[in-house]
Structure 1
Amino acid sequence: MLMTLWLRMCVLLGKAVLFVVGLGLLGWAVATAWSAWQHRGPVPAQEQIPTDEAAMTRDVIQTAVRIVDSHRENTRYLRDAHAKAHGCLNAEVQVLQDLTPELRQGVFSEAGKTWQATLRLSNGSPYPQFDSLRDARGMALKLLDVPGTQLLKDRQSRGEQDFVMFNHPNFFVSDVAEYRQNVAAQADGKKVMAFFPGWDPRTWQVRHLFIALATLAPAPASPTQTTYFSVSPYKFGSANAKFRVAPDPDSCPVYTLPPQNQALPNFLRSALTQQLSTDRVPACFVLQIQRQDPSQYMPIEDTSIEWRESDAPFETVARIRIPAQDFDTPAQNLQCDNLSFNPWFGLEAHRPIGGINRLRKAVYEAVSDYRHARNAEQ
């Protein structure tokens, strides 16, 4: 009797599980179809600026400053994102010799030109944490001694061109309005619930939650084995484009990184030290662009949309070489902490475009000024 009842309960439970799974699959299929129907081309090739964007930007700045205040390390004020660096490295960026005329734009105008650069590799979290925890990983690249008029008036003597990237092709928010809501929730300690701002299912950002979960990836074996994306678009001469930096092992000596102790809090820094300082083996990347085709669904104002390679392939414009070097010293680490990277540090030919980039301009400036002013008081 009890056995029969138990078997019937198991059968009912199995059917219930199958029903829930089937319902979930059906919901996923409907959501995918709805998303595909919504996200169709063509799209504008020019920016579309909301009238209330300035007010929303001020709110984001206040939240970002609050994050900096709450996440300082001892007496030093850290970045509001990508606070923990694995290292700042000297690098060389060489433009390809055989670029077609339409790819010879801005810092890529001179075939074969080699730029000296500084490259910062980091975790994405706004406070330092163990490298083994799931996190975004970032690369910020600064080309040095770049001639020409800078985008920002107070940077004319700096001669920089920055490229700021992280390890996922699209962002977990679409625009400034959504970023304001999400970052305020994150600052209040909400994580998953930041994507569910109310009881109305129409406000739920389920697709963006999955993007965020995919972005918070397990740590790579080394920062030199990761691909980094600009996520947001930029001008590329008269075109619009996104950037990508991908490992290029064929351009460097063959190297196998010895296994690292991933229980250590800073094992990604250790991996860089092992390769560049101990084994004296350089690391290589390619710098690529993906040009917008406005006849396809490749929007400027929505950074949650990945531009499909089937619509526009990536094209290599330069190679990056990180030579063997000693970089992990107290003086260099302090200098690394004081460096500022900003996609608006650069030339008109590579002007950042879209709402998230316009937001970056205001927030980066405000937070950087606040952080450096507070650190100067220490």
Structure 2
Amino acid sequence: MLITLWLRVGALLGKTLLWLLGLGLLGWALSSAWFAWHHSGAVSAQEQIPPGEAAMTQGIIQTAVRIVDQHREGTRYLRDAHAKAHGCVKAEVQVLEQLAPELRQGVFAEPGKIWQANIRLSNGNAYPQFDSIRDARGMAIKLLDVTGPQLLKEQPLRTEQDFVMFNHPNFFVSDVAEYAQNVAAQADGKKVLAFFPGWDPRSWQVRHLFIALATLSPAPTSPTQTTYFSVSPYKFGSANAKFRVAPDPASCPSYELPAQNQDLPNFLRSALTQQLSTDRVAACFVLQIQRQDPSKYMPLEDTSIEWRESDAPFETVARVRIAPQDFDTPAQNLACDNQSFNPWFGLEEHRPIGGINRLRKAVYEAVSDYRHSRNAEQ
């Protein structure tokens, strides 16, 4: 009797699980079809600023300052993101000799031109943590002695062009409104709830949660063996484009990094030191652009959407070479910490566009001013 009962219960549970699996697959198929339909077709090649964005930006600045206050290292105030550097190094960025005429824009206008540059390599978290912890990894490039009118009219004496990137092609928020909700939740220590702002399932940001989890990837072997993306779009002359920096081992001497002790808290800095300072081997990258094709679904105002390479391939415009050097000294590390990178430091030909970049302009400036002023008081 009991055996028969258990068999019937087992059969019922099996059928229920199959039904649930079928419903799950159907839901996945329908949501995938809806996403493909909703995210297809032509887009605007012009920025579209939503109402209320300026007010939301002011709220985000207050939250960002709160994060800086929360994540001090002793008495020193750190960045609200990418607080931990693996090192700041000197580099050369050379525009391709045989660059197509339509790609000769801004700092890439002169084929063969060699720019001296500073590069900061970092973890993404707002507080320094072990490199073995899953995290975003960042690269910021600052070209030096760049002549021409700067984007920030109130700082006309700047002679820089910055490119700010991290190691994932799309962002885990779409726009300023979503960023405001997300960063406020994170500042309150509610990282997962940042993607579930209410009980209404329509407000849940499950796809963006998966993007965030993919962004928080395991540590690379070395900061020089990672690909970095601008995520948000920029002007490229009269076109719109995103940037990417990818390893280019063919342009450097062959090198195999000795195995690093990944239990050490700063093993990515150790890997960088091993290659550049101990073994004296250069690191090489290509700097590429991906131009927007407005007839494809390549939106300017939604940074959660990856621009597909099948719609617009990346095109190399320059090569980056980090020569062997000694960079890990107390004086250089302090200078690295004090250096500011901002996508709005640069020329009109590379003006940042889209909501997240408009937000960056206000937040980067406010947080940088606050951090530097508080550190100067120490």
| TM-score > 0.5 by shorter chain | yes
| Cα separation, partners in 2 of 1:11 and 1:45, compared to 1, 3 Å | same
The residue that corresponds to 2:24 in the other structure is: 24
Match of 1:316 in 2: 316
Q: Show the counterpart of 1:51.
A: 51
| Structure 2 SS opposite 1:154 | coil
SS at match of 1:153: coil
CA contact (8 A) 1:342 1:364 kept: yes
Where does 1:34-183 land on structure 2 (aligned, <5 Å)? 34-183=34-183
Residue 193 of structure 1 and its aligned partner are, at CA, apart by 1.3
- SS of 1:125's equivalent? coil
Query: Displacement of 1:30 after TM fit?
Result: 1.5
Matches of 1:336 and 1:243 in 2, distance apart? 23
User: Aligned pair in 2 of structure 1 residues 12, 309: CA closer, same or farther (>3 Å)?
Assistant: same
Deviations 1:283-320 (A, max 9, x none): 00000000000111100011011111111100000000
Contact 1:221 1:268 (C-alpha < 8 Å) held by counterparts: yes
Aligned runs of 1:200-239 on 2, under 5 Å?
200-239=200-239
Superposed displacement of residue 27, structure 1: 2.0
Tell me which amino acid in the other structure corresponds to 1:227: T
Letter aligned with residue 296 of structure 2: Q
In structure 1, how many angstroms separate the alpha carbons of the residues matched to 2:10 and 2:122? 49
**Residues of 1 paired with 2:2 and 2:323: CA distance?**
72
Hey, what does 2:342 align to over in structure 1?
A: 342
Q: Which amino acid aligns with 1:301?
A: E
Mapped to 1, the partners of 2:168 and 2:319 lie a distance apart of: 20
Cα separation, 1, equivalents of 2:4 and 2:285: 64
Alignment CA distance shift 1:274-1:6 (3 Å): farther
Residue 140 of structure 1: how far off its partner (Å): 0.3
Task: Pick which of 146-155 and 264-273 moved more.
Answer: 146-155
How far apart, in 1, do the equivalents of 2:21 and 2:224 lie? 39
1:41, 1:219 → 2: CA distance?
A: 36
Secondary structure of 2:75 counterpart: coil
Residues 294-351 of structure 1 deviation map (CA, whole Å, 9 limit, x = unaligned)? 1111000110111111111000000000011111111110000000000000000000
Partner of 2:359, secondary structure, is: helix
Aligned partners of 2:259 and 2:87: how far apart in 1? 19
Q: Distance in 1 between matches of 2:334 and 2:122?
A: 14
Deviation of 1:32 after TM superposition, in Å, equals 1.2
Letter of the structure 2 residue corresponding to residue 162 of structure 1: D
Q: What is residue 375 of structure 1 aligned with on the other side?
A: 375
Cα distance in 2, alignment partners of residues 14 and 371 from structure 1: 59
Cα offset, 1:31, TM superposition: 1.4
Distance, in Å, in 1 between the alignment partners of 2:7 and 2:271 is 54
Distance 2:224 2:82 in 1: 17
Q: Taking structure 1 as reference, are residues 21 and 148 closer, same or farther at Cα in structure 2, changes over 3 Å only?
A: same
Compute the displacement of 1:156 (Å): 2.1
Aligned-partner Cα distance in 1 for 2:280–2:377 = 39
Structure 1 unaligned segments of length 5 or more: list them.
Answer: none
Question: In the TM superposition, what is the alpha-carbon distance from 1:154 to its structure 2 partner?
Answer: 3.3
Q: Is the 8 A contact 1:155 1:345 kept in 2?
A: no
Relative to structure 1, the CA distance from residue 45 to residue 75 in structure 2 (aligned partners, 3 Å threshold; closer, same or farther) is same
Percent identity (aligned)? 83
Q: Which whole-Å deviations, capped at 9, do the CAs of 1:31-71 have from their partners, x for residues lacking one?
A: 11111111112111110011211000000000000000000
Once residues 182 and 305 of structure 1 are traced to their aligned partners in structure 2, the CA distance between those partners, rounded to angstroms, is 17
Find the residue that maps to 2:37 and give its secondary structure.
helix
- Give, in whole Å, the separation in 2 of the partners of 1:27 and 1:83: 40
Q: 2-side partners of 1:6 and 1:92: how far apart? A: 72
Distance, in Å, in 2 between the alignment partners of 1:75 and 1:14 is 60
Amino acid of the residue matched to residue 42 of structure 2? P
User: 1:249-287 deviations in whole A, cap 9, x for unaligned?
Assistant: 100011111111111111111110111111111000000
What is the Cα-based RMSD across aligned positions, in Å? 1.3
Alpha-carbon shift at residue 4 of structure 1 (Å): 6.2
Q: Deviations over 1:73-109 (max 9, x none)?
A: 0000000000000000101000001111110000000
Unaligned runs of 5+ residues in structure 2 are none
Question: What SS is found at the alignment partner of 2:77?
Answer: coil
Aligned residues: 378
Please report the TM-score for the alignment, with normalisation by the length of structure 1: 0.97
Mapped to 1, the partners of 2:246 and 2:153 lie a distance apart of 32
Distance in 1 separating the partners of 2:332 and 2:147: 26
Match of 1:352? 352
Distance 1:88 1:15, change over 3 A: farther
- Corresponding residue for residue 256 of structure 1: 256
Find the counterpart in structure 1 of residue 198 from structure 2: 198
TM-score, normalization by structure 2:
0.97
Does the residue aligned with 2:107 lie in a helix, a strand or coil? Answer: helix
AA partner of residue 317 (structure 1): V
Q: Give the aligned partner of residue 295 of structure 2.
A: 295
Deviation of 1:28 (Å): 2.0
C-alpha change, 1:337 and 1:17, in structure 2 (3 Å) is: farther
Query: How far apart are 1:9 and its partner, in Å?
Result: 5.2
Alignment partners' CA distance in 1, 2:15 and 2:338: 59
- 1:337-374, CA deviations, whole angstroms, 9 ceiling, x for partnerless residues? 00000000000000000000000000000000000000
1:244 aligned partner: 244
